[in-house]
Amino acid sequence: MITRLELTNFSVFSHLAINFSPKINVIIGENGTGKTQLMKAAYALCARNSVLRNESKESKNKLEAALASKLVRLFVPLDNKLGNLCRRGVSEDTRMEAHFAQGKKLEIGFTNRAAKLVKVHESADYEKYHNKPIFIPTKEVLSLIKGISDPNSDQETVRNLFDDTYLDLCSFLLQKPAVDNEERLNSNPRFGTIFPDIVNAIGGKYDFSENRFRFEEGKYQERRVKGQNKYGDKTETIFEPIKGSGVSNNMTAEGFRKIGILQQLLANKSLNPGISGPLFWDEPESNMNPKLMRLLVEILLELSRSSQQIILATHDYVLLKWFDLLADKSKEDFLRFHTLYRHPDSETIRVESADSYQQLRINAIASTFSDLYDSEIERSLGGRSK
């Protein structure tokens, strides 16, 4: 879990410090205020296991090289030069600092002259950070996996087309489940609460075989199994497919495929609440029918209740409103909202945080919908409201 991120002279940020909730964080702001850059920066600093391939110990030089490579692959700066991630027009070094649970910390820096060189200034207990983060980018990924993972694909072209948020996610999605899902459903209350609801809400589940995902219609149902133990019958949750309903994932709605990403990550334990690192999600509402928004929010709240930290960026009022309506204090739901905005005098990006989006003084989403409402009233009055 990441608790705090500080960025100095990085990308669009002169200096930014943000404190994250251990549960759900929602980042909002106009285009160009750095929402995606902020999440990618946090993801890079959380990705120790990803960059060092689960090594228990590493040299400082190896860590520096791995972090530099990761930043370049995530942001793909001009000429793949790390120094091009520095804030333009300043000579001071760029610094990135992340604080994690239980006192772990990582602070790194580089100059605008750096090609692929990062300096680690502090790494307090960072070698003990083993929680793998997951980043779900804006574009849907299930339909891309066949081309990305096909050994016959030109991997240099793939790397030129997709940054590491896509390639990392594909790697997670391709992992095979260690145990049978239905066995987990009937033995793991957390998994058993979330997974069947996701499948039933979209009317089926995605499975990976022969280097592609397919969608099989069906639903989970409880059925009584006789004589399973000395206490008599018991109830099991079983997936009942519709015979002959399998189709290519490309033939399903994109919104369903985005939900399918969560299905697969949960199924193979890449997303394992209480054990996983943060879940970053950039604009989950993109290409999703508003009817699915409630389901999405219910899933995210349930993951949060199971100790999964979530950090997402959104432009969508419907998503915000469903969080407002569905968050349940009796279940210890907690959200923190962070709005990024340009200071009118200096043009620097600043952040304001609150525990309710209605408490934010600067809220691009609420302001836009207020303007729409005012325009509708004005039109209905025939322009007489002025």
pLDDT digits (tens, 9 = 90+) for 26-35: 999 988 899 9
pTM recorded for the entire structure: 0.89
Percent of the chain with pLDDT over 90: 43
CATH number at residue 77: 3.40.50.300
Q: Which residues touch 56 (CB under 8 Å, ≥6 apart)?
A: 127
341 belongs to a structural domain: yes
| Residues paired with residue 335 on neighbouring β-strands, in sequence order | 24
Parallel/antiparallel/unpaired status of strands 279-282 and 94-100: unpaired
pLDDT beyond 60 at 77: yes
pLDDT beyond 60 at 229: no
Q: Is 347 helix (H, G, I), strand (E, B) or coil?
A: coil
- What single DSSP character describes residue 86? B
- Number of domains composing the chain: 1
More confident of the two residues 365 and 159: 159
Contact 236, 223 (CB under 8 A): yes
245 belongs to a structural domain: no
Percent of the chain with pLDDT over 70: 89
106 belongs to a structural domain: yes
241 belongs to a structural domain: no
Domain extent at residue 84: 2-132+275-380
Q: Is 50 helix (H, G, I), strand (E, B) or coil?
A: helix
194 belongs to a structural domain: no
306 belongs to a structural domain: yes
337 belongs to a structural domain: yes
210 belongs to a structural domain: no
The b-or-e profile of 198-214 (16+ CB within 10 A means b, else e) is: bbbbbebbbbbeeebbb
- Confidence band for 232, pLDDT divided at 50, 70 and 90: low
